[in-house]
Amino acid sequence: MNKRTWLSFPYVLWIIGFTVIPLIVIFRYAFTTGDGGFTLENILTIFDPIHFKALVFSLEIAVGCTLICIILSYPLVLAMRRLKMGKSGVALFIIILPMWMNSILRIMAWQMILSPNGILNLILEKLGMKPLSIANTATAIMIGVVYDYLPYMILPVYNAVAEINEDIIEAAKDLGAGSITTFFKVILPLSMPGLLSGIVMVFVPSMTSFVVSDVLGGGKLQLVGNIIEQEFTKSANWNLGSGLSVFLMVFVMISMAFTLKNDVDGKESTVW
């Protein structure tokens, strides 16, 4: 045995105490009834119409949020690539800055902006336009999650794009590729590793979030996360909450496995 193996003990303890045991507990709750008997009820309850509707809505929010983040990231990242070293550092700092602020605070701020008498409608009124009722809609939730998770897309995509050698982009132009062709044939495929980790880092938390929908959805629009939260708090039905959690975890793992598998395949297939 290696002499330094004992150094890993704290981490092993950590993993057992905070990952393995909680997982076992959750799985135990998920597959048992209140009095301890085995059941699949808690898992299958996802097909209950209300739960299933929340799952579909969560999926819509997660997919939409991920796509919007991708579309917003690339123009910004490409612009930052053109900046000189120091300036791109400042730009990156400004982008990360909101991440260091309390997340509840950020979402509350959006509530203030979007509410019927909020800042947005105040501005629209001054401009002589009709007020919008965005608060408590899916749009409000979407704005919230995009704002929350955008930096998690920008950072890995920026790292991947910044790594692409300028020579390679010039070579594409040299061979007759315009800006759009260069982007789709060279920049996008070469930044794929960063894009994929960005997708994982945005899709998973937006799929499972509940705070954003709680505040910006006004409690009327429910994501799976909200239902799970309610099972644990209001209904005190830990078995049902755990069942839904296990389903959600497996669901996310499978969808991410598909995303990452495409990456491995992509390396061997042609880009054309």
Partner 1 sequence: MNDVILQLDSISKSFDGKMVIDNLDLEIKRNEFVTLLGPSGCGKSTTLRIIGGFAKPDTGRVLFNGKDITNLSPDKRNINTVFQKYSLFPHMTVEENIAFGLKLKHKSAQYIKDKIAYALKLVNMDHYGKRRPESLSGGQQQRVAIARAIVNEPDILLLDEPLGALDLKLRHSMQRELIKIKQEVGITFVYVTHDQEEALTMSDRIVVMNKGIIQQMGTSKSIYDEPQNAFVADFIGDSNIIDGVMVMDRLVEIQGTRIPCVDEGFGTNELVDVVIRPEDLKIVDAEKGYLKGMVVSIIFKGAYYEIKVRVQDYEWSIQSVNPATIGATVGLTILPENIQIMHKPLSVDAEVVKEDE
**Among residues 72, 177, 211, 249, which is the contact residue for partner 1, using CB under 8 A?**
177
Using the rule CB under 8 A, is 178 a contact of partner 1? yes
Using the rule CB under 8 A, is 157 a contact of partner 1? no
Using the rule CB under 8 A, is 272 a contact of partner 1? yes
DSSP string, 2-44: -GGGGGGHHHHHHHIIIIIHHHHHHHHHHTB-TTS-B-SHHHH
Using the rule CB under 8 A, is 34 a contact of partner 1? no
> Which has the closest alpha carbon to 69: 139, 147, 141, 137?
147
Q: Which residues neighbour 232 within 8 Å (Cβ) at sequence distance 6 or greater? A: 238, 241
In the chain, the largest separation of any two C-alpha atoms, in whole Å, equals: 76
Could you tell me if 173 and 182 are in contact, meaning their C-beta atoms sit under 8 angstroms apart?
A: yes
Using the rule CB under 8 A, is 168 a contact of partner 1? yes
Could you tell me if 255 and 203 are in contact, meaning their C-beta atoms sit under 8 angstroms apart?
A: yes
**Among residues 150, 186, 196, 199, which is the contact residue for partner 1, using CB under 8 A?**
186
Using the rule CB under 8 A, is 270 a contact of partner 1? yes
**What whole-number distance in Å separates Cα of residue 114 and Cα of residue 136?**
9
Residues 113-152 that bind partner 1 (CB under 8 A): none
Using the rule CB under 8 A, is 265 a contact of partner 1? no
Using the rule CB under 8 A, is 163 a contact of partner 1? no
- Among residues 106 and 185, whose Cβ is nearest to partner 1? 185
Using the rule CB under 8 A, is 189 a contact of partner 1? yes
**Nearest-approach distance from CB 188 to partner 1, in angstroms:** 10
Using the rule CB under 8 A, is 162 a contact of partner 1? no
**What whole-number distance in Å separates Cα of residue 154 and Cα of residue 160?**
10
Alpha carbon distances (Å) from 29 to 155, 235, 245, 246: 37, 15, 10, 10
Using the contact rule CB under 8 A, the part of the chain among 23-31, 138-146, 248-256, 264-272 near partner 1 is 264-272
**Among residues 171, 253, 254, 257, which is the contact residue for partner 1, using CB under 8 A?**
171
**Among residues 21, 56, 175, 253, which is the contact residue for partner 1, using CB under 8 A?**
175
> Which has the closest alpha carbon to 124: 139, 114, 111?
114
In this structure, is the dihedral angle defined by the CA atoms of residues 106, 82, 63 and 224, taken in order, positive or negative? negative
Which residues are near partner 1 by CB under 8 A? 165, 167-168, 170-178, 181, 185-186, 189-190, 267, 270-272
